[in-house]
Structure 1
Amino acid sequence: MTGGGTAGHVTPNLALVPKLKQKGFEIKYIGSKDGIEKEIIEKEKIQYYSISSGKLRRYFDFKNFSDPFKVAKGLFEALKILSKEKPNVVFSKGGFVAVPVVMAATIKKIPVVAHESDITPGLANKLSAPFCNKLCVTFPESLNYVKNNKGVLTGSPIRDDIINGDIIKGKNIAGFKTNKPIILVMGGSLGSKVINDALREKLDELLKEFNIIHICGKGNFDKSLDKIEGYAQFEYVSNELSHLMKSSDYVVSRAGSNSIFEFLSLQKPMLLIPLSKKASRGDQILNANSFKKEGFCLVLEEENLNKDTLFESIQRLKKEGTVLKNAMRKSSMSNGVEAIINVIMDNMKK
């Protein structure tokens, strides 16, 4: 396995690991020397190999002149690792570190299966695609961006612990004493100041109807709100997240692909506030609009976000929650673990 740069390029791999081990696979991982993937993978007691990794940028930066040498070094390091391990297949989740690994696998005639979370492939997967046997995609629209019949619609892999969260544990972690409906508010792994501010400005009104779990991001904890009944704020959660998600009746979130497919698998009515194009390449906007088209969510654009529009959208979410839930219940793309493993098995070097 390979992939790194953000948690979104790593954690979906972990959803596949238990099922792959059940089928007799031995798992090894190639990542960068100092990326987030190293800590995540080593915690899982999976053997980890580090290689050099240069960042691939669409914009001008002087590092663009030095980083190709890091990629070349990473290619030679990946070739050495693959020569030693002789894997039957390489699975790539994308990110900059994956490019030299995928290229090395092709040189060694090792089949490569990759997975793209967003509707439009990221730069790393665009560069990797010619070297892949198959590119698994999460959204139906993504097939339009994959050439040579390599695209396979699988959905996103969801970890068992997300699906198996406990409602009672979630309520106990949050410390709620009433049975009001619960809203989970989260702004991505780093939090979102605009979502935090809009929520907190309407907190008194919202708490009349809801209990609120607020994952606000590191450094965004507000001590002045710490003792308010029905409001549980966390800078960051890890093992507790599955229980908090399971106990929630509604979700307000950014529109990262991994997260929204977790909400889909749990059938949580969601209000999505995608990152604007000013702060991203626009992939979250596409993700959110795709889910809106399927009838899974409501969308509030960041440019239109303020305390009043957030409050109004949450009221609408409560009103339309049953309709959204029914649409999600009928969906066939809630968990892609089995579909991705089938693609891996079909393309494995015998």
Structure 2
Amino acid sequence: MDAGGEAVGSVSGGCVEGAVHELCQEVVRTGRPVRHTFGHSDADAFAVGLSCGGTIEVFVQPILPASSGTGDVTRPAVLAAALEAVRRGEPVAVARLVDGGTGVFAVFEDRVLGGHGVTDSLAEVVVAEARAMLDAGLTGLRTLGCGEEEAVVFVEAHTPPPRLLVFGAVDFAAALTRIGRFLGHHVTVCDARPAFVTSRRFPDAHEVVVDWPHRYLARTRVDRRTVVCVLTHDAKFDVPLLEVALRLPVAYVGAMGSRRTQQDRIARLREAGLRETELSRLCSPIGLDLGARTPEETALSIAGEFVALRRGGSGLPLAGTAGPIHPAGRAGPIRLPAHS
């Protein structure tokens, strides 16, 4: 919200917008940040329409121009640099101290901006945690400490879309590229057969690659969010490809095929020298048990499995489970010893 009261964006899609707008107006008047929680047991919750049983925590921070002569003059510059990185597609994490300090960090893969308001020792802890969260594509609150010093930090990770690498130019791959793009992945389809892997066959893929799958995977960029789906179910493609995939730091490796195919594949991979810990990472037969028959249903089954793995879901019907639908994602206190 700007000084004139005009708002951009939303917090919850409707139920707390009015109350948050009032908080913003208060922060503009006072120049002091405010942290407020709306919970289902609060009287405020019913006043703002939050009677669904959830909890929303809001942190409102004033951003004053450097020319104002008040506040932390480095903060606008730090946030401007972070916004420019997001515009360019460069990974960046913005770390705000919401308790125990007022500093703002822009943490890049190779540099750090800002960080005033805490000691150098605590700043090192904040930067290390922000980099770890950036690497994993995570956003959330963290309680961090160094010696006797402690702070609560909100880290926003802005990363390029996670990659979905689909190997095998088959009908199942075409359906999987559609759902992968819908889920926000950058989708690549790779196959060694130029007659099959074309943009016309895979219009929803961001890129199509004609190459031997194992050779392409060995040279392309991956990270801990990357999803690898092997749909060729042909040993001459599968085994060399999985030798590479199961040794990479990726989020998910799944391979299509029958249970008999999987037994043969595992035997071949053992002969190739893969360890049991590496073999245990392979999800095969690929996908959740949905009774899927069509390529589209199979793609839904595969996507359900890698989403559940990424988010820590059980894959079970919610009606048969208990507890929060969205478990709290906060980590416990992360503390490093103070420097001697």
Structure-2-length-normalised TM-score: 0.32
- Of structures 1 and 2, the one scoring higher in RCO (CA 8 A, sep 6+) is 1
**Structure having the larger proportion of residues in helix:** 1
**Structure having the larger proportion of residues in strand:** 2
Structure-1-length-normalised TM-score: 0.31
